[in-house]
Structure 1
């Protein structure tokens, strides 16, 4: 047993830099599990700074001075950030309240539909089972009011936290844009001067993370906007709310699209019933999802994030488990980082190939 461990150590941890990398990884996981919520605005600001840096880089290549490119990209970011927070979010909130107000009516209509099912399909559902389902739904609805009051009171600290984030994130984005190189140089001062492994990982991560962040935000904007205009054209209620939900769902590949399909189908069903409009809406929604997965994603990302679907799902489950919502959001970049580390990790002896597909 000791001999096996000695060979493993000699193969993977024989170099000084590999031990340093293992320590940094362990420290990073511990920080995410303990103070991940505190670091969330910093990491969110880093993602947004990558987006703004792409615009400033293009402006510099067009001949603008560095300071002017940074200023223009930051002004564009601030305008988009506060435009979304002050224009889109209040509308989404109002539509959410309207949907919650219509829930009792939707449940009543659902009870009427359930009461008809035993007559049409007695071999699958009996009247006793329907009465049991209705009784269960009524009991859950009765406890919904106190639960909403309790949760709304619990949201007060979260609302204050969001208000603080609205101030902190734009400030952090500005400093990351303006002094990003100095900040990274300061962190690099704590590392060994010769660090080829870390430099190799950083070069791959820097490019892939930037491509992923810009592509994902563009995908959210395109899918959310197209969904909103399609639902509004069809006359579906709560088009803004559903458009935002469908757009945000692309953050979680495979799982997000599955989860958001249920509210879209339910809103359409309770508005139109099993009519032609309902089926038209479902077809349009499925076409949007198909175009997203088969056209938009390959066009935006190409080989930037070359991960197997199983690896993506495992990353969502793992990082979501140790870091909550932020872990789900950053799951793919973190999985990409792990892939880059595995590919660059020094190995003594025979090479070990990492299977990515």
Structure 2
């Protein structure tokens, strides 16, 4: 067993460039794992810088100075964000309040529906099972209420953190875009000299991460907009709130789509019951998800679809458990990084001595 491990180590890490790559990855992992909460504004700024680098580069190519290009793009981006916030947040907040007010009537309707099941299907469903299920739901609803109260009590802290983000993040994005070349040069001077493999992986991942972030934003906008139009046309309650949930559900591949199906089905069920409208809505939602998974995602993420769905789900679970939201958001690029690193590491066979 020891000989096998030794042979594997010699095959993969006989090159000093491979050792440098492993060291860089380990230091990066430790930094993000232990200090990720401290550098969260920087992480947000890096994501936004990747997103905005494309329009900045386009403006630079047509002759505008980079500083002016950065300023124009950031001003336009902030204006769009403010427009979205002031245009969407009040409506979403109103729909959240209406949904909370409707929860008791929804629970009573669910209680009546489940209580009637033993009478309809006595050979399949026992009254004791329904009572246990209702008690479990009641406890969960009370727990959600307590969580909302606790969340409101800690809202002042959240608002303070949000204020810090609103000040720091735009400044960080500006300097990351303006001084991109200088910062990259400084970081390269700090890295080990034997970094041929690290440079190879970096060049590949830099392009993929940039495309991934832009593609994910486009996917959120397209899926959210199409979902809202569908819900609005079918006159579904809380259409904007549910469409926003569907849009952001694409951040979590496969799992997000399955999770957001539950509130949509519950709202539709209590609005229409088991009527044709309910089934038409589920069919429309299924078509949206199918087009997203089979048409939109392959177009936007041609490299990512080379990963097996099991690998993507495992990446979401592993990296989400390690780094929370950021691990989930970057699950596909991180899985691609693992694949790229494994391919980049040398695998020179060591001749056996006989």
Q: Which has the higher contact order (CA 8 A, sep 6+)?
A: 2
> C-alpha offsets along residues 10-33 of structure 1, whole Å, 9 cap, x if unaligned?
222222222222122222222222
With structure 1 as the length reference, what TM-score do the two structures score?
0.91
Deviation at 1:122, TM superposition (A): 1.2
Gaps of 5+ in 1: 351-357
Runs of 4+ in 1 over 6 A off after TM superposition: none
> C-alpha offsets along residues 69-94 of structure 1, whole Å, 9 cap, x if unaligned?
32322222222233333332343233
Q: Which residue of 1 aligns with 2:70?
A: 70
- Aligned pairs (5 A) from 1:65-214: 65-142=65-142, 144-193=144-193, 195-214=195-214
With structure 2 as the length reference, what TM-score do the two structures score?
0.92
Deviation at 1:307, TM superposition (A): 1.6
Q: Which residue of 2 aligns with 1:268?
A: 268
Aligned length: 350
Deviation at 1:66, TM superposition (A): 2.9
Native 8 Å contact 1:232 1:239 kept in 2: yes
Gaps of 5+ in 2: none
Q: Which residue of 2 aligns with 1:353?
A: none
Native 8 Å contact 1:220 1:248 kept in 2: yes
Is residue 2:317 matched to residue 1:317? yes
Structure 2 distance, partners of 1:51, 1:102, is 39
Structure 1 residues 64 and 306, CA gap change in structure 2 (3 angstroms): farther
- Specify the SS of the correspondent of 1:51: helix
Structure 2 distance, partners of 1:61, 1:189, is 28
Structure 2 distance, partners of 1:135, 1:344, is 55
Structure 2 distance, partners of 1:61, 1:203, is 21
Structure 1 residues 54 and 143, CA gap change in structure 2 (3 angstroms): closer
Deviation at 1:163, TM superposition (A): 2.6
- Aligned pairs (5 A) from 1:228-239: 228-239=228-239
Native 8 Å contact 1:249 1:256 kept in 2: yes
Structure 2 distance, partners of 1:31, 1:192, is 17
Structure 1 residues 139 and 243, CA gap change in structure 2 (3 angstroms): closer
Structure 1 distance, partners of 2:198, 2:316, is 25
Is residue 2:287 matched to residue 1:287? yes
CA RMSD of aligned residues (A): 2.0
Structure 1 distance, partners of 2:57, 2:141, is 54
Q: Which residue of 2 aligns with 1:31?
A: 31
Structure 2 distance, partners of 1:247, 1:157, is 27
Native 8 Å contact 1:265 1:282 kept in 2: yes
